Amino acid sequence: MKFDILTLFPGMFSGPFDESIIKRAQEKQLIDISLHNIRSWATDRHQTADDSPYGGGAGMVMKPEPLAACIESVKGDNPHSLVVITSPHGRRLTHRVAQELSSRPGLILVCGRYEGIDERIRTLYADDDISLGDFVLSGGEIAAMAIVDAITRLIPGSLGSEESARLDSFSDGLLEYPHYTRPADFNGHTVPDPLLSGNHELIRKWRRKESLRKTWILRPDLLDQVTLTGEDRKFLKEIDQEESDGE
């Protein structure tokens, strides 16, 4: 998959993209990441990419001319790529959105800065707007990193085990069950017995129930969005009783 990232600060990506899963995915040629400095398309000697807003107010706005030229240049080389603006007024990045975007041949990620980009860029070029949540970042670079990471994990071959992606939190609409490793006893806290039993069916049931428990406690809104089995409903009744008894 092809990622083109349009930014005023390409140096921000050198660390996150040179480590771990994203680095390995690039080495395997599963993904291709290109960084484009928007200032390179500015026509004045100072490479000006921002200006004060019409109507007054604090801050600066990214100018349309260099950004439009940058988008058109990159889009010309990748005509099937989707132009995505990282913006606090975009739709929220979720596992489902990442799955949807992973099916595209490529993404052109436009990183906003300052007070934002000239609205005409969105009108003329944007196919989608993506937000990480209801908060404001200094720029869209961190959001772009999150988008690339979330999508890369879904590309077959990018993880050491495809089971990892399949069982990630939100892959089935629920939060993931708790994880444990050696030692079996840590400061008096022991690993749950089912995980030590060697009984695969018992382990499966424990993990499913604890996934439901964590979702029920931390993100009950997610339960309205998944199809629950009869077993799931039985587990939820048990969880409700157990949590009530524990109060």
Per-residue model confidence as pLDDT tens digits over 125-159:
999 999 999 998 999 999 999 999 999 999 999 98
Instruction: Give, in order, the Cα–Cα distances in Å from 216 to each of 105, 159, 202, 242.
Output: 36, 29, 21, 12
**Active-site residue flag, 242:** no
Please identify which of the residues 65, 115, 149, 172 carries the catalytic annotation: 115
Give the mean model confidence (pLDDT) for residues 172-191: 93
Give the mean model confidence (pLDDT) for residues 103-110: 97
Please check whether residue 75 is in contact with residue 1, taking contact to mean a CB–CB distance below 8 angstroms: no
pTM listed for this prediction: 0.87
Higher pLDDT, 237 or 162: 237
* Per-residue tokens: 28: 């395997």
**Active-site residue flag, 92:** no
Q: What number of residues does the chain have?
A: 247
- Gap between the Cα atoms of 191 and 177, Å rounded: 13
Strands ordered across the beta sheet of 82-92: 32-37, 2-7, 106-111, 82-92, 128-131
What is the amino acid identity at position 214? K
Give the mean model confidence (pLDDT) for residues 180-206: 96
pLDDT-derived band of residue 161, with 50, 70 and 90 as boundaries? low
Strands (E), the chain: 2-7, 32-37, 50-51, 61-62, 82-92, 106-111, 128-131, 185-186, 189-190
Q: Where are the domains of the chain?
A: 2-152, 185-246
**Active-site residue flag, 115:** yes
**CATH architecture of the domain with residue range 185-246:** Orthogonal Bundle (1.10)
Q: Give the pLDDT score at 169.
A: 54
111: how many CB neighbours lie within 10 A of its CB?
A: 26
Please identify which of the residues 168, 172, 176, 232 carries the catalytic annotation: 168
Same fold yes or no, 2-152 and 185-246: no
**Active-site residue flag, 168:** yes
Half-sphere CA count of 115, side-chain side, radius 13 A? 14
Phi then psi for residue 128, to 5 deg, are -160, 155
Please identify which of the residues 53, 88, 178, 194 carries the catalytic annotation: 88
Domain 2-152 fold? Alpha/beta knot (3.40.1280)
* Per-residue tokens: 75: 């889009």
Instruction: Give, in order, the Cα–Cα distances in Å from 125 to each of 13, 59, 231.
Output: 24, 24, 48
Give the mean model confidence (pLDDT) for residues 41-45: 95
- Gap between the Cα atoms of 233 and 246, Å rounded: 20
Please identify which of the residues 113, 122, 153, 213 carries the catalytic annotation: 153
- Gap between the Cα atoms of 25 and 20, Å rounded: 9
Q: Name the strand (E) or helix (H) holding 68.
A: helix 64-77
pLDDT at residue 247 greater than cutoff 90: no
Q: Give the pLDDT score at 163.
A: 47
